[in-house]
Structure 1
């Protein structure tokens, strides 16, 4: 109790389209291409280990191939929002943009 969520980067094989991305509304996303083909990187806050397992089970239920899960950093509750109560907070510099944000 009282612990801040932790920022995780979750990598799956393939390009996730808009329909699949709606299953992960709290996560920003980025599609990257390499020699192994396209991968989608989901980055977002996870409140606890049970929630992380929930995300992993959801990926499996959708038939997605999990490549990697990496803890990025603790999230801070004190981080100010540019517009309280008006949509998602922009991604911190260097992270992919949140779902629904205009490029």
Structure 2
């Protein structure tokens, strides 16, 4: 992993369908209750791009968290 990159967990309110998920091609996703959880390795500009896309699509951002390998994917 590039030292300028980190692994992020991003929680969005609601279940995103295939069309909306296609806006986040570098991210893996999982449905967790009433939320969609995106995870992926992003550099600073990639993170800002994902956050911009979430805002542009009018999605409700619940959490952005940098995670380590020890934390696992979704909690």
Q: Confirm or deny a common fold (TM above 0.5).
A: yes
| Structure 1: unaligned runs, 5 residues or longer | 75-93, 97-103
Describe the SS at the equivalent of 2:51.
helix
Greater Rg, structure 1 or structure 2? 1
| Structure 2: unaligned runs, 5 residues or longer | none
Describe the SS at the equivalent of 1:56.
helix
Q: Which residue of 2 aligns with 1:52?
A: 47
Instruction: With the length of structure 2 as denominator, give the TM-score of the two structures.
Output: 0.83
Instruction: With the length of structure 1 as denominator, give the TM-score of the two structures.
Output: 0.62
Instruction: Name the Cα RMSD after superposition.
Output: 1.8
Q: Could you say which structure has the higher helix fraction? A: 2
Q: Deviations over 1:26-54 (max 9, x none)?
A: 11111111xxxx1100000102x232122
Q: Give the total of aligned pairs.
A: 71
Higher relative CO (Cα under 8 Å, sequence separation at least 6) belongs to 2
State how 1:23-62 maps to structure 2 within 5 Å.
Answer: 23-33=23-33, 38-47=34-43, 49-62=44-57
